[in-house]
Structure formats: structure tokens, C-alpha cells
A = this chain, B = another copy of it.
Amino acid sequence: MPTSPEYARSVAEALKTLGLTKYEALVYVALLQVTKATATEIHELSGVPRASVYPVLDRLLQKNMVTVSHTTPKRFSATPPDNAINTLLREIEEKATYAKDVLGELWKDRTCIEGGDQELIWNILGDANITSRLRDLIYQAGNEIRIMGNWALLKDLREALEERAGEIRIDVIAEHWEGAVPEGVTVTTTVPPVWHEKGKMGERAGMLFVDGTKVMVAMGSHGEAPTALFSEAEGFVRFFSRYWDLIHGFGEKK
């Protein structure tokens, strides 16, 4: 039984995303809590069946998470978590850059299907994903950014906006702005548009124009999982562009 309280579960979960199995996680965590142990001790400490301990330790050896001393009986010892996890992580990051390389190539010369995809409206699901997409759009903007939204949405984009502030024109419409306004950014405060009133304040809501050709709109979830829309469709862009101008008329420069 791990002396640790509830951490056990969440840590095991974390280790699993790093590529370990449940048993591997259990054994490693158990082994961390002593300086060394025999297979049987590990079995008692971790709750993993004794017979299963051996193959598990083999795999952990390959992964450089434990070391073995060839005495009788064999003794095992955990490598310090910092080293062990960094090793795992390096492996993963390596694969990641490789995948990025190859897939990036593949993607560059993808075949352009006729019926232009620019006319479609794409959905992005999930809060984190929406923020992530907005950030990407900001970083990849060519010459102009216009963004309007509540603070819940804007606060996670400050960093990205600041970084682009020097390079391209950035206009912001917000109910308010907390902290310093970055150099090169124009902030217009105005009465809350529709999406600010809507119930829960914590929900991200707003819209982002990039280069006058792309729009992303986050609408706040109506009970469902949060969803945002992205499009380069002309009608879609024009509609929200009008809306922007309308609101902009009300606002006051800051």
C-alpha cells in the first residue's frame, strides 16, 4: 500500500500518459518510497501480484526507471524521479519533433480538393482547444488583428497579443482591460455586447478577425461543451465585420 494518500491515483494517471502501464506506475511509485527492495517486497508494497512484478521490472529497466543489483535475491532501486521522467519525456519529445517534421511536409503539399474548404464553417470543441486555436491564429496573422471579447477570453491571449504588438496592427474591443495595455495595441472599451450578459461570466466569449479574411467566434456553451466557429467564408466574415463596425462606433478609444 502506498503510504501516500490520494496522490497515488492522480500520479499513476500522469505516469500512464507518459507511456507506463498501471503496474509499471504502481511498482515505480512503490519503489520510490524505499532505497531498495526485493521483488517480494515490491509485491507487498505495491499490491502488484508477485509473478507480475518481474516482467514489469524488466520493462522499467529498459526505460531506465529502475536499476538492478545482481545479488540473490535481486535488489531493485528506483532512479530519481527527475532523471527518470526526463528520460521518458526526452523520448517522447523526440518522436514529437519527428512527427512534426514528416507530417509538416505531408501537409504542405496536400492535394487541394475542389469545392474550396474556405467556404465552410468549422467547429472547434473544448475550452482549451479554443484558446489554443486563437493563439495560433494570432501568431500566424499576416498584417492585422481585430479582437473583441470578454475578459475571460482575453486574459489568456495577452501574451500572444503582446508578442505581435510591435509587428502588426492590433485593435481590441473589450468591456474593460486589466493591467497595462501593450505598446502598439489599440483598446476600445464599450458597453458589453450580447455575449457578456449571457449568464455565467466565466465563460469565454468573443470574436477574432485575422487579416480581414478569417474569423473565429467563441460563443459560450449553452449547457453543451464550449464550441467556437472558424471560417474564411466571405459572407460569414462580412457579417461579423459589420457587427464589429457597429460595436466599434459605440466605443471610446483608450
Interface residues of A in 53-111 (CB under 8 A from B): 61-62, 64, 67-71, 75, 77-83, 85, 87-89, 91-93, 95-96, 98-100, 102-104, 106-107, 110-111
A122 touches B81 (CB 8 A): no
- How many copies of the shown chain assemble into the complex? 2
A52 is an interface residue with CB less than 8 A from chain B: no
A14 touches B106 (CB 8 A): no
A133 is an interface residue with CB less than 8 A from chain B: yes
For the complex, would chain A's binding face be called helix, strand, loop or mixed by DSSP majority? helix
A123 is an interface residue with CB less than 8 A from chain B: yes
Contact digits for A123-141, partner B, Cβ 8 Å, 1 yes 0 no:
1111011001100100000
Considering the chains assembled together, what is the distance between the CA atoms of A113 and B78 in angstroms? 13
Q: Which of A27-35, A149-157, A200-208, A245-253 forms part of the interface with chain B?
A: A27-35
Using CB atoms and an 8 Å cutoff, list the residues of chain A in contact with chain B. 4, 7, 10-11, 13-15, 17-19, 29, 32-37, 61-62, 64, 67-71, 75, 77-83, 85, 87-89, 91-93, 95-96, 98-100, 102-104, 106-107, 110-113, 117, 120-126, 128-129, 132-133, 136, 230
Question: If A69-B121, A123-B68 touch, does A83 touch B136 (CB 8 Å cutoff)?
Answer: yes
Considering the chains assembled together, what is the distance between the CA atoms of A190 and B117 in angstroms? 68
A85 touches B99 (CB 8 A): yes
A82 touches B100 (CB 8 A): yes
Enumerate chain B residues within 8 angstroms of A126, measured Cβ to Cβ. Answer: 62, 64
Enumerate chain B residues within 8 angstroms of A100, measured Cβ to Cβ. Answer: 81-82, 85
Q: How far is the CB of A41 from chain B (nearest CB, A)?
A: 9
B83 touches A18 (CB 8 A): no
B18 touches A75 (CB 8 A): no
B104 touches A35 (CB 8 A): no
Question: If A17-B95, A93-B89, A120-B75 touch, does A113 touch B64 (CB 8 Å cutoff)?
Answer: no
Considering the chains assembled together, what is the distance between the CA atoms of A17 and B20 in angstroms? 11
Enumerate chain B residues within 8 angstroms of A92, measured Cβ to Cβ. Answer: 17-18, 89, 92
